[in-house]
């Protein structure tokens, strides 16, 4: 596989889990944007929001995207759910949108103990945020994938699609 695979979608879509499985299948490396940001700045996503505010977090995301565009090949990249609102991820690789209905995503996020989702907690009506974002996700998607399938079958599906492109 020579091109980067970029996974996009709303919180809870399974981007990181699918990315991990796909990296195994492709014998590649997963780059998870939230994890890279946390490692680089030495604080959690949550703390960045709390101490510096969302705009600073978004700046970190954009800086990382530029770096990925200019320096990274052959990787699997799982992205934070807000990135497609501000950056055209097609500049980095083939974009796969993990799509699922809001209800399923909310259920997943609520049962996830991860504390990296201040945006979710802030929104009383997370449906508004979901609706706002759908357009950007759809616009950037080279492929739309059903995020309700199992992690492994999604990873396999993406692998097959990438292989078919060669
Ligand atoms: C965000 C999604 C989170 C994380 C941050 C902001 C968003 O990542 O980047 O909390 O704006 O949708 P996941 O999409 O992996 O949950």
Nearest CA to ligand 1 atom 12: 81
Q: How far is the CA of 156 from the centre of ligand 1 (A)?
A: 24
Contact 50, 19 (CB under 8 A): no
pLDDT of residue 103: 94
**Average pLDDT across the chain, whole number:** 94
Residue 153 phi, psi dihedral angles, 5° rounding = -75, -30
77 pLDDT above the threshold of 60: yes
Q: How far is the CA of 118 from the centre of ligand 1 (A)?
A: 8
Helices (H), 42-113: 45-52, 54-71, 102-111
Give the residue-averaged pLDDT of 12-25.
Answer: 97
Q: How far is the CA of 80 from the centre of ligand 1 (A)?
A: 4
- pLDDT, tens digit, for every residue of 38-51? 999 999 999 999 99
How far apart are the C-alpha atoms of 63 and 80, rounded to whole Å?
A: 13
Ligand 1 atom at minimal distance to the Cα of residue 82:
11
pLDDT of residue 123: 66
End-to-end CA distance of the chain: 8
- pLDDT, tens digit, for every residue of 102-128? 999 999 988 887 767 888 777 667 899
pTM above 0.75, yes or no: yes
94 Cβ partners below 8 Å, 6+ apart? 3, 4, 5, 6, 142, 143, 162, 165
Burial class (CB within 10 angstroms; exposed 0-12, middle 13-18, buried 19+) of 97 = buried
Ligand 1 atom at minimal distance to the Cα of residue 46:
10
pLDDT of residue 83: 98
37 pLDDT above the threshold of 80: yes
36 pLDDT above the threshold of 70: yes
Give the residue-averaged pLDDT of 128-144.
Answer: 96
Q: How far is the CA of 166 from the centre of ligand 1 (A)?
A: 31
pLDDT of residue 2: 47
- pLDDT, tens digit, for every residue of 141-154? 999 999 999 999 99
Q: How far is the CA of 164 from the centre of ligand 1 (A)?
A: 30
58 pLDDT above the threshold of 70: yes
Give the residue-averaged pLDDT of 70-90.
Answer: 97
Residue 97 phi, psi dihedral angles, 5° rounding = -95, 115
Q: How far is the CA of 33 from the centre of ligand 1 (A)?
A: 9
Give the residue-averaged pLDDT of 4-21.
Answer: 97
Ligand 1, CB cutoff 6 Å, lining residues:
11, 15, 34, 45, 80-82, 116-119
% of residues, the chain, pLDDT over 90: 84
> Among 8, 11, 49, which is best to mutate for testing ligand 1, by the most ligand atoms less than 8 A from CB?
11
């Amino acid at each position: 596989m020579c091109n980067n695979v970029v996974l996009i979608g709303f919180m809870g879509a399974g981007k990181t889990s699918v990315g991990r499985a796909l990296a195994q299948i492709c014998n590649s490396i997963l780059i998870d944007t939230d994890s890279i940001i946390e490692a680089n700045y030495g604080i959690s996503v949550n703390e960045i929001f709390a101490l510096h505010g969302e705009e600073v977090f978004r700046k970190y995301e954009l800086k990382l995207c530029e770096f990925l565009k200019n320096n990274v090949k052959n990787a699997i990249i799982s992205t934070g759910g807000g990135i497609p609102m501000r950056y055209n991820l097609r500049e980095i690789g083939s974009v796969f949108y993990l799509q699922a209905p809001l209800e399923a995503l909310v259920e997943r996020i609520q049962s996830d103990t991860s504390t990296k989702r201040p945006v979710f907690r802030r929104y009383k009506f997370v449906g508004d945020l979901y609706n706002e974002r759908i357009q950007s996700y759809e616009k950037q998607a080279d492929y739309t994938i059903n995020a309700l399938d199992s992690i492994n079958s999604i990873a396999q599906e993406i692998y097959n699609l990438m292989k078919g492109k060669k």
